[in-house]
Structure 1
Amino acid sequence: MDIQFVRIDDRLIHGQVATVWVKKFNIERILVVAEEVTKNPVRKVMLEQAAPPGVYVNVITPAKLIDIYFDPLFFSSKVMLLFTNPQEVVCAVKKGVVFPSVNIGGMSFSQGKKMLTNAVAVNEEDIRSFEYLTTKGIELEVRKVFSDSKLQLMDLISKKKLF
């Protein structure tokens, strides 16, 4: 599998993903890797329909990602992986999925989370997941849109001292 771009964005496929990121990386297939979303047929269909023309979308579980990652059928596809949270990214990495960086585009605020940027809220579990990914040599950069400057996530976390 030719993973061109990995993003955490709990909005998943929306304007920026469909119009900018997909074109920038010449994406042929978007894999939405989100256990929760696979259980919601309406959301799943909406995501499949939100893709730009010519781009295939599959909504899959982290376990299914592992199955297809090692399948020769997918070796030549230029893929974007979209996750809703860092825990599912960690799951993929622990099972052998390899990529050099993760773009953190949007993680909504909810109870127990603290705002890191205007688009990214984290809790202690998120931070532990990001720390794990860092130990694996994966770059963690925050950019909501492509034209934003890259911010290093771990630098932001250490400066804010959230927890």
Structure 2
Amino acid sequence: MAIVHVRIDDRLIHGQVAMIWTNSLSATRIMVVDDEASKSELIKMSLKLATPSSVSLSVLTIERAAKRIKEGAYSGQRVILVIKSPENLLRLIKEGVIIEAANLGNLHSKDATLQLSNTVYMNESNVITCKLLRKLDVQINMQILPNDENMEVIL
């Protein structure tokens, strides 16, 4: 499986991901990796409705996603991986998934201590986790849309 893009986005699938990123990257699958979403039929139905009909959708727990990725379950596909938080991305990596870069798309922390852009607000836990991700050689960047400047986040 080729993960062509990793996006940290607390809204999961919405217009930017479903239409713009999917088209720009010629994605064939959106993989939502989120324990809560994977256990809710209502959330899964909403995510399916937001996904273009030409794109496959997987909504998996972190543990199940790691297993499927490592076993090559989506070989030959172009996958956009969408995850809700830096903490969940770190958990996925600790499960053995190799991630080289992640895009902070939309992150709205209720107890934000740091505003990086109009759409990225981080709390102390997010900041600490992003620093840990950087130590694991994961590049963290911000790019709302494919045509926007891709800015590396250094915390």
Task: Pick the TM interval, shorter chain.
Answer: over 0.9
Note the C-alpha offset of 1:71: 2.0
Q: Is 1:36 equivalent to 2:36 in the alignment?
A: yes
Match of 1:12 in 2: 12
What secondary structure sits across from 2:5 in the alignment?
strand
What secondary structure sits across from 2:73 in the alignment?
helix
Q: Under a length normalisation based on structure 1, what TM-score does the superposition of the two structures give?
A: 0.88
Q: Which amino acid aligns with 1:58?
A: S
Match of 1:160 in 2: none
Q: Which amino acid aligns with 2:39?
A: K
What secondary structure sits across from 2:37 in the alignment?
helix
- Indicate conservation of the 8 Å contact 2:5/2:80, yes or no: yes
Distance in 2 between the 1:136 and 1:29 partners? 26
> Percent of pairs identical after alignment?
28
Distance in 1 between the 2:15 and 2:119 partners? 15
**Mind listing any 5+ residue stretches in structure 1 that lack a counterpart?**
158-163
Distance in 2 between the 1:29 and 1:59 partners? 11
Distance in 2 between the 1:149 and 1:116 partners? 14
- Indicate conservation of the 8 Å contact 1:109/1:115, yes or no: no
Distance 1:45 1:113, change over 3 A: farther
- Indicate conservation of the 8 Å contact 2:35/2:60, yes or no: yes
Deviates more, 1:142-151 or 1:77-86: 142-151
Q: Is 1:118 equivalent to 2:109 in the alignment?
A: no
Deviations 1:92-111 (A, max 9, x none): 11222113210111001313
Q: Under a length normalisation based on structure 2, what TM-score does the superposition of the two structures give?
A: 0.92
Match of 2:55 in 1: 55
Distance in 2 between the 1:94 and 1:85 partners? 14
- Indicate conservation of the 8 Å contact 1:105/1:143, yes or no: yes
Distance in 2 between the 1:112 and 1:4 partners? 29
Count the aligned residue pairs: 155
Q: Which amino acid aligns with 1:116?
A: L
Note the C-alpha offset of 1:112: 4.7
Distance 1:116 1:73, change over 3 A: closer
Note the C-alpha offset of 1:113: 4.1
Distance in 2 between the 1:88 and 1:94 partners? 10
Deviates more, 1:70-79 or 1:6-15: 70-79
Where is the helix percentage greater, Structure 1 or Structure 2?
1
**Mind listing any 5+ residue stretches in structure 2 that lack a counterpart?**
none
- Indicate conservation of the 8 Å contact 2:109/2:123, yes or no: no
What secondary structure sits across from 1:3 in the alignment?
strand
Distance in 1 between the 2:44 and 2:113 partners? 26
Match of 1:100 in 2: 100
Could you say what the CA RMSD is over the residues aligned between the two structures, in angstroms?
A: 1.4
Match of 1:161 in 2: none
Structure 1 consecutive aligned stretches of length 4 or more whose deviation exceeds 3 Å: none
